[in-house]
Chains A and B, each alone.
Chain A
């Protein structure tokens, strides 16, 4: 029991110094990000749709992207995603 507590304590301290990254992109940098993923032109041409609500994604409506099965999926900003259905 005591041994386990010490191990638990040490692992707690260790875990406080290990962090998990949450990637975010700032509003102004959205075009640069989409361009680096070769998606900016497609977005500007209105060729990409939200993987949730199927609405056309524009630079302004881009909410987040997710990497699924080797493909980048784009989603629109949540409130728009809900309101426009």
Chain B
């Protein structure tokens, strides 16, 4: 595309006026489009601009290509605006920018396991296109390395929660369509999904959904890949949900036994970092050390965005404990108090 732009911009002046000017305008347009394309990679909100532009063109020129482009940009825009936020929240590599690929013909041998091809209807049915596109994207993106191990009903319920959040925040007018078309359909296929929906909503409102639950499930899935525990993974997931739920309900006065969960497969402790007073970080370092002494494998640090500097200090201090490895620092949609934005970190204990 950029080569075409250069050729068009360097149009030979001997080409008669009208044609030459037209080619130059075309060249400039291509350059602008490339620039917008690059910008929209960094700032997905720019996709809205593109969507509006193609929407306008679609209304005035009834070309199928414009209709398709407008539909694709709307779906990509809704997904990518969220993906940008989710990339800092979910484990690295879980969600990538969405790119709509129109297919006309497809060989079955070239399809990947679990791959979906979705029918997109004309723009009049755009709500339906949008909710189907968003859900299909998330259901195929989550748990990229443990898809075979994590039970399908859990994966679908997780995708429903993330899609619901995306639609609520980015395209609220399509929420009813999402509930009527997608959630109802999935419940009909597998009623076990119902068990999760309300619990995931609660966990997500306090930052525990992506902050600890998803990460623990994914880590355990890696661990039990070739173990008999894989057969009872669904039960283990239920225990982890109930533990997270019990912990949230007990806040702010959480009894001692609820701070940790240790079974044959999952093993973690919560460390809620708050009260940023001088030297207070030592209390958290001591708790981290105690957690290691108790044989707990994962330490989840959860805190509020407003106490960011103090949380970073605590993370730095725990990093100095040789028995721990800092696996990742991530953003949270909500903090444990239910306020917007939080910070999380996962430490993994190194046992000999």
Contacts and interface: CB of A to CB of B under 8 A. Distances in A.
Interface of A: 1, 4-5, 8, 11-13, 15-30, 32-33, 35-37, 52-53, 62-69, 72, 77-79, 81-82, 85
A17 B92 CA distance: 14
A58 B132 CA distance: 19
Contacts of B117: 23-25, 33, 64-65
Nearest to A73: B116
The 6 A-B residue pairs with the shortest CB-CB distance, nearest first, are: A36-B105, A67-B111, A19-B99, A19-B97, A78-B181, A21-B101
Nearest to A52: B189
Given A25-B103, A32-B104, 18 more contacts: A15-B93, A16-B42, A19-B97, A20-B95, A20-B96, A20-B141, A22-B101, A22-B133, A23-B115, A24-B133, A26-B68, A29-B102, A36-B104, A37-B107, A65-B116, A66-B115, A67-B113, A68-B113
B87 A24 contact: no
Nearest to A5: B329
Contacts of B136: 22, 64
B59 interface: no
Nearest to B95: A20
Contacts of B120: 24-27
A66 B137 contact: no
A65 B99 CA distance: 18
A16 B189 contact: no
A33 B108 contact: no
A64 B114 contact: no
B102 to A, nearest CB: 6
Contacts, number: 152
A58 to B, nearest CB: 12
A74 B141 CA distance: 21
B106 A15 contact: no
Interface of B: 41-42, 64, 68, 72, 75, 79, 84, 87-88, 92-93, 95-108, 111-122, 128, 132-133, 136-137, 140-141, 180-182, 184-185, 188-189, 312, 315-316, 319, 326, 329
A8 B93 CA distance: 12
Nearest to A35: B105
Contact of A23 (B95, B114, B116): B116
Contacts of B118: 22-25, 63-64
A20 B99 contact: yes
B125 to A, nearest CB: 9
B181 A22 contact: no
Contacts of B189: 52
A23 to B, nearest CB: 5
Nearest to A20: B96
A39 B333 CA distance: 44
Contact of A67 (B95, B108, B121, B133): B108
A68 B108 contact: no
A24 B185 contact: no
A12 B314 CA distance: 24
A15 to B, nearest CB: 5
Contacts of A30: 119
A35 B189 CA distance: 27
A32 B105 contact: yes
Most buried by B among A18, A22, A33: A22
A55 B318 CA distance: 58
14 contacts: A1-B319, A21-B100, A22-B136, A26-B68, A27-B120, A29-B102, A36-B106, A52-B189, A62-B119, A64-B118, A67-B111, A67-B112, A67-B115, A82-B180
A68 B114 contact: yes
A79 B180 contact: yes
A37 B132 contact: no
Given A16-B84, A78-B185, A82-B188, A24 B98 contact: no
Contacts of A67: 108, 111-116
A85 B88 CA distance: 41
B329 to A, nearest CB: 7
A62 to B, nearest CB: 6
